[in-house]
Structures are given as C-alpha cells and as structure tokens.
Amino acid sequence: MQVIINADDYGRDKKTTDAIADCFLQHKITSTTMMVVHEDCERASGIAREIGLPTGLHLCLDEGRPAADPAKITTLLDQQGNLRVTSKRLFSGKVRQGELFLELGAQIKKMDELGLRMTHLDSHHHLHCHPLVLPVFFMNRQRLPRLLKIRIPRNFEPGSRLKLYGMLKYSYKMSAKFLLGYFFKTADYFTSITSYLDNHTMQLEKILAAVPRRNSSIEIMCHPGELEQYSFLLKKIDLDHLASVKDINFIDYSRL
C-alpha cells in the first residue's frame, strides 16, 4: 500500500511553516502543499528547497492576495482586493470561470518563481472539487502542467462512507473522483487524519487498517499548523515502525 501524508497550508504564516518543516524532518509527514498567496511563502520555499520537502500547490481562492492581475479577476475579489471565492458566490453566478483559470495559472507560475517543482495540486477548503470549479480543470487540462496530479474529494472513512456522507454527497464524491481520475493522476483514496464526525479525534492506524485493497494508494491530509494535530503527529506517529510492520510504502505524489 502506498500512503501519502500531506500537510496543508505551508507558507500561510511562520508558525504553520515551521510546524510542517519540523514534522517532515522528524519523518511524521511525507509532503506538503504551499499557499503562494500568503505572507510566509517565500521563506517557506527556501526551507523546502533546503530540507528537500516535496511541495505541491495548495490552490487558494477564498483568502489571501491574488497572484493574477487584480484588474483581470474582479469577480474573485472582495472590496479590499482579497480573494473571496465562496460556495455561495459560485452558485450565485457572480464568479467567472475564465477568471478562476487565470488565478490558477498565476498561482502555478508563482510556484515556479519560488523555485519549487510542483508535485501535485489540492486546494484550501477543497474548492477545486466544487462542481462549479471542477470544470475549469477539465476544460483547460491541455494548458495545465503535463501529468498534473490532483487530490480527489474526501472519499474514505474507517466506517461506512455512504452512511457518513449521505447519498447525495457520496454520489457527487464518487463522480468527482471518477472524473479527476480519468483526466489526471490521483490517489485511490483520500481522507483526513481527523475523524469526519469529530475533528478532535485523530486516527492513522485505524485508517490504514480499514483500506480495503492492500495494493491501493491513499492520501491522508493533516494540518500541523493546528497545535492539536502537531502534537499528535510528533508524539504518536512513527512512520518507520508502521512501514516495517504493516508493509506500507510512505511516499509523496512525485512517486505516485
């Protein structure tokens, strides 16, 4: 089984950056995704290059300063010029899909300018999986980086997924997973180190034990910028031990 433990929000601020870098150095995570629209991204990129931290893009559409020319993406911004793409605004029809792609391209370009090779792409609050954002990737896939690897919607829990999500949400998650997997390289499963029902319940071994196919791949998301998760990762996770006793290959997206 291939397992990716990815830390979101790298570069958001100094505290988050340092927590993620510490977790990587202590072999608690395997990769991270960078928020290029936040204050600590340049310092974070230097640290990532120095320690060899595999880094993807944490596409951010609902906060931060835009990477694209603000005059060309006015429907994505609030009155202060910050990115403010919310589910409500998407469904209202006020957000132009062409502007979404401009900002996506600008954030990918910013990764290049920071000197980082983008291992994969996910997004803050999973907005890339929103039904009105997802088509941006399909319609423009020829203009995206070749062999782009993308996170799928959360589609795995140790318990009954259908019961936890409900029929409508479960159906959409499966449809989005199929479409993303058809056009891009993805892991088979994606979940979080925190419980779907209780964000304060941390779980890793329970997830690994529940994966139905031993030859599958799974991404497990975490947020070391949150003190509770940072403490759990440092005190409770031993990837070397898990790899030896459970026949697990801990990887990053570049090896998927």
DSSP string, 58-73: EE-SSSS--SS-GGG-
Asked if 177 and 169 touch (Cβ cutoff 8 Å), the reply is no
Nearest to 49 by CA among 12, 6, 11: 11
Instruction: Report the alpha-carbon distance of residue 30 to residue 251 in Å, rounded.
Output: 6
For the chain, what percent of residues have pLDDT higher than 70? Answer: 99
For residue 251, give the DSSP letter.
Answer: -
pLDDT above 80: residue 160? no
Which domains can be identified in the chain, with CATH numbers?
2-255 (3.20.20.370)
Provide the whole-model pTM: 0.95
pLDDT at res. 196: 87
**Chain-wide mean pLDDT for the chain?**
94
Distances (CA, A) of 21 to 5, 35, 36, 138: 13, 14, 16, 33
Q: 10 — phi, psi (to 5°)? A: -60, 135
Look at residue 140 and give its three-state secondary structure. Answer: coil
**pLDDT per residue as tens digits for the range 106-141:** 999 999 999 999 999 999 999 999 999 999 999 898
For residue 77, give both structure tokens: 């911004």
Mean pLDDT of 67-73: 98
